[in-house]
Amino acid sequence: MANVELTRQSIVELEVDAIVNAANRRMLGGGGVDGVIHRAAGPGLLEECRLAGGCETGDAKVTGAHDLPCRWIIHTVGPMWRGGDNGEADLLQSCYRRSIAEADALGAKTLAFPAISTGAYGFPVEAAARIAVQTVAQAAQATRLETIFLVTFDKRNHSALKQALRREELLG
Ligand code: AR6
């Protein structure tokens, strides 16, 4: 059973084995955390992403980390919020599950997630936090991952995640 830890800093600063990027289907960079990761990783990341051929919503693809201190970047594409009746919750769960599966297959022991879909894609923060915490806690059980960091920038995501962790009795 991996530990789940909450931390408030930029995801690119974390010295973990792998970080997750909240990408889009084209996988060619963008704003938000995607932009931060591409700027910090350098142009080699974009070159590698071009070869990946995009990524479906709910899926995840691995690249190298280039200039970042981690070893791998796992690019996942969260759902755009369209009112909640368009499979958004299942797709968000799938992002967390697929990213954890890819990290485990790489042999990663430490993994960091941003709050996928809660920025430009508009997923309600409290609902996204519950899905993140429940899915991560469940999916990490059958893996060799030791610590999963939930990384946030903003106060609202941080307190929503804290509340969700408390509810699942996972707050250390
Ligand atoms: N470290 C950790 N979290 C961050 C950072 C950072 N450096 N910067 C922002 N966040 P978003 P999405 C948080 O919009 O909603 C992009 O243009 C931010 O506060 O990055 O999945 C892509 O190319 C928010 O809570 O991702 C896609 O087109 C969270 O990261 C689209 O946005 C996610 O916000 C994806 O939208």
pTM given for the model: 0.98
Ligand 1: residues with CB < 6 A are 10-12, 22-24, 30-34, 36, 78, 114-121, 151, 153-154, 157
Closest alpha carbon to 23 in 53, 1, 44, 3? 53
For residues 161 and 131, what is the distance between their CA atoms, to the nearest angstrom?
A: 10
pLDDT tens-digit readout, 12-35:
999 999 999 999 999 999 999 999
Chunked mean pLDDT (size 10), the chain, 172 residues: 93 97 98 98 98 97 98 98 98 98 98 98 98 96 96 95 93 71
* pLDDT score recorded for residue 9: 95
Which among 28, 33, 57, 81 is the best mutation to test ligand 1's pocket, defined by most ligand atoms within 8 Å of the CB? 33
Check if the beta carbon of residue 15 is closer than 8 Å to that of residue 109.
no
> Whose CA is closest to atom 33 on ligand 1?
119
Rounded to the nearest angstrom, the distance between the alpha carbon of 139 and the centre of ligand 1 is: 22
Q: What is the mean pLDDT of the chain?
A: 97
* pLDDT score recorded for residue 10: 97
> Whose CA is closest to atom 8 on ligand 1?
33
Rounded to the nearest angstrom, the distance between the alpha carbon of 8 and the centre of ligand 1 is: 14
For residues 59 and 156, what is the distance between their CA atoms, to the nearest angstrom?
A: 26
| 17 catalytic per annotation | no
* pLDDT score recorded for residue 34: 98
* pLDDT score recorded for residue 145: 98
